[in-house]
Amino acid sequence: MNFLIRLIATLALAAAFGAGAHAAAATARATFAGGCFWCMEEVYEKVPGVISAVSGYMGGKTKNPTYESISTGTTGHAEVVQVEYDPSKVTYARLLEVFWRNIDPTQPNGQFCDHGSQYRSAIFVHDAEQKKLADASKGVVEKTKPFKGDIVTQIVPAAEFYVAEQYHQDYYKKNPVRYKLYKTGCGRDARLQALWGDAK
């Protein structure tokens, strides 16, 4: 009887563990650098199936970077958004489509009015499947792009992600007037329209 009780308890524990593992696998991560992370955060938070988009830093050589340090362009980090999403509601391929349509892939070491390696465009891939899909999407863009210029966007392995300071999170929501002035003044929407037209 004690054996049966222990067996039932073990199976119940294993079932609970399996359910927890399944739940943990129900979401996935993607990381994109598209210039100012305020703008990319807004873009991805409006995509159905995206759970969150967090501004931060990735790809550098120093530990615990700050906005002030990465702004010098010497740490090697890029401004990124780390996206948590539900693969049953939105695919990684769709997130890649959104990425391309919201950057200038012909601009090296910068995006729009922001210049420096910290504003470079890049796809930080978390596994082999993401790498395969990212490479394929870049190939499609290179063949079908409605503009001239080489695609300089990087596809690189994901590195340690550092969450940006709290005042950067959801900046477009917390400071809508300043955000709109920045975005308009930077020429982001105008340049995207010139590059991609009405493609979304």
Active site residues: 36
Residue 85: closest CA among 32, 133, 136, 37: 32
* Helix then strand then coil, % of the chain, to nearest 5: 45, 20, 35
Residue 121: closest CA among 32, 182, 38, 197: 32
Indicate the SS3 state at residue 149: coil
- With a CB cutoff of 8 Å and minimum separation 6, the contacts of 2 are none
Give the total residue count for the chain: 200
